[in-house]
Structure 1
């Protein structure tokens, strides 16, 4: 089915509309990437802090158990 000049104009208008949306979409993608990287960095920090605190707690519990007099029943 051949395109009429009217349908070509419509296609060109649609293409122009899409092209005008590209910068906005690129900016949104860049912002999403920035937020993802920020959230990932925060997660890694909290994950590592949790690991360190868990290890410290385990050491303190072992020290506490070592100081406690053991009772044998």
Structure 2
């Protein structure tokens, strides 16, 4: 199963969100992040605290409303 983390930095609500979704697009976890988190490197700590890690050799990819990366449970 391929899970993805989506760092949402643009949208209707202020601040940033970290959303973990499964391969069907269903939300597994959704975290509201501090307003200062706007880049993937800043979101890594929150990703780990939520029990997830980037997949081996995966890099964050730019999306229309933020960033996405494949993830696995820590």
Q: When you count helix as a share of all residues, which structure comes out higher?
A: 1
TM-score (norm 1): 0.17
Q: When you count strand as a share of all residues, which structure comes out higher?
A: 2
- Structure showing greater radius of gyration is 1
Choose between structure 1 and 2 for higher RCO, CA contacts under 8 A separated by at least 6 residues: 2
